[in-house]
Amino acid sequence: MTREELLALLSALKRARVGGRRAPHKPLLVLWLLGRFAARGSSAVTYDEAEEPVSRLINDFGPAVTSRTRARERAAMPFVHLERSLWDLRDRDGLPMGTDVAERGSLLRGRGAHGRFRPEVELVLAEPGVFAAAARLLLEQHFTPALEPLVRDAVGLDPDLLDEAAQLPGRGRARRRRSGFAEEVLMAYAYACAFCGFDGALGRHPVGLEAAHVRWHSQDGPDEIANGLSLCSLHHTLFDLGALGLLPDLRIQVSPLYVARGPAGRAVDALHGQPVATPRPGQPAVDPEFVLWHGRQVFKRPGAQAA
């Protein structure tokens, strides 16, 4: 296997969907395995070891679920269905397990399921720059810039190591953001957070303000004002995590799964039901199509994530 072939296989994971919803299950499993490979020099793992941390990753960074059992066993799907061109899955007797195995944690534990990247994958990952390029590709194709450091830290990837990927030509980057998008969005909302009104500046330059995509850029969201919001750094992160969302009439909703432990955190609860700021005259408000996408794909509704 070559570097180009590996990156092509990882890029193909971007097409995965479950019931029309984004499905970052496989990318999150691969990222977690990359963190394990970096720390231990091997990606070998039993399902019993992977179930809790990988399920937690999917609950935190994937769409909401409503079944408490499914929340605990969400690692079963990628553990079974990760492409065999990347992944070698076997039972306790060392026999290969196919993709027709039921996605049940109890069954996988009972059969002693264990897997690892195929030997040729581990060999190419050990080549200079390939590991960093692989991790960076998955982060860019499946998440937003606001979430990348959270995902990276959760799977144990060294940010300095990933910086190597920025210098590699032809590394399979996600599509580039349109130049000027961020400035256009901030200007449309008068350089203030559309949720809380924060408008800090240092000299002539705004600080702590970011242009958020409502439908994520990595999920084919356009670089248009109608798909953007000017948000402070805090509310941008909470919006991308699904702790904050929007109703079709552009009122803010706070996820029932959000929990605050002090006065500063409880200030977020006060946003619930408040209208989003109106953009300047002549600029479009957020398109309802993108609001619906965020509500379905990102916003954390009551369910099992807290289980």
- What pLDDT score does 66 carry? 60
* Contact present, 272 and 260 (Cβ < 8 Å): no
pLDDT the model gives residue 273? 96
Grouped pLDDT means (10 residues each) for the chain, 307 residues: 94 70 91 95 96 94 72 89 96 94 92 97 94 93 91 90 55 65 96 97 92 94 97 97 96 95 92 97 97 95 53
SS (H, E, C) 22-44: ECCHHHHHHHHHHHHHHHHCCCC
Note the pLDDT of residue 160: 77
The verdict on pTM exceeding 0.85 is no
Amino acid at site 59: N
pLDDT at 94: 96
In the chain, beta strands by DSSP E = 17-18, 21-22, 45-46, 87-90, 114-117, 201-202, 205-206, 209-213, 228-232, 244-246, 252-254
**pLDDT in the model for residue 177:** 74
Report, in angstroms and rounded to the nearest whole number, the Rg of the chain calculated over CA atoms.
20
What order do you get walking across the sheet with 45-46 strand by strand? Answer: 45-46, 114-117, 87-90
Amino acid occupying residue 220: D
Q: How far is CA 56 from CA 63, 103, 195, 245, in A?
A: 12, 16, 28, 21
Q: Give the pLDDT score at 194.
A: 98
pLDDT at 58: 93
pLDDT at res. 63: 83
Residues 6+ apart with CB under 8 A from 167: 129
Crossing angle of helices 130-142 and 148-155, rounded to 10°: 130
With tokens 């060999």, the residue in question is: 123
DSSP letter for each residue of 234-253 = HHHHHHHHTSEEE-TTSBEE
Kindly tell me the burial class for residue 100, based on how many C-beta atoms sit within 10 Å of its own C-beta (0-12, 13-18, 19 or more). Answer: exposed
Specify the pLDDT at position 306. 37
Instruction: Tell me which residue has tokens 């203030």.
Output: 192
Query: Residue 264: its pLDDT value, please?
Result: 87
User: And the tokens for 223?
Assistant: 């670089």
- Round to whole Å and give the CA distance between 152 and 128: 20
Nearest to 194 by CA among 226, 236, 227, 224: 236
- Compute the distance between CA of residue 152 and CA of residue 136 in angstroms, rounded to an integer: 9
